[in-house]
Structure 1
Amino acid sequence: MELKVAFVVVCLFALAITFTEAGIPKCCITTKRDIPVRVLQKVQRWTMQQSSGACDISALLLYVRDMRKPICAHPKVKRILISLRSRVKRNKQKAVY
């Protein structure tokens, strides 16, 4: 009887860890600086990984269209992304007028 109870408790803990954020965090281990512009143009969103949390390094996670996993980029790539976005917005505004 005790073995059945222990098994149920272990299964419940496994489910709780799987369905919550209590699992092992997914951190970037290395970062890339040289990312092609055409890849940067396909970025849908990005988030910052802070080195002060569970992860060891600061990184910029780039979520690219048609890619399953995010790209781990150096935080300085964010400036390039912002400048690309502002260029696209300016070009769209010029096309409207």
Structure 2
Amino acid sequence: MLRVALLPMLSMLAVALPAQAETQQMYRAGLATPATATLIVKDTRWSCAGDSCAAVRTGTSPDGNVCAAVVRKFGPVTSFVAGAKTFDEAQLQKCNAAARQG
């Protein structure tokens, strides 16, 4: 009886885990100025369409450095997500400012 009750729970978990793992492996950036391009930024292939860009998160660079590198290539960002971490307003300001200094 317990085995029958666990099967639906296990199947739901099997569906949820790949989606969560995929989200944690992505970068997403919102751009202040729309762009349509595919560029390599810090050894990562970014694809942009309109005001959003995405890339597979494979490197070990600190997220703030990746954000600043994106700003240097595409211009200021309005949002930045690294895996499950969404940058807050202070982090976005720091990212945009770091790109101007670097």
TM range (shorter): 0.3 to 0.5
User: Over alpha carbons, which structure has the higher Rg?
Assistant: 1
- TM-score, length-normalised on structure 1? 0.33
Larger proportion of strand: 2
Which structure would you say has the larger RCO, counting Cα contacts within 8 Å and 6 or more residues apart?
2
- TM-score, length-normalised on structure 2? 0.32
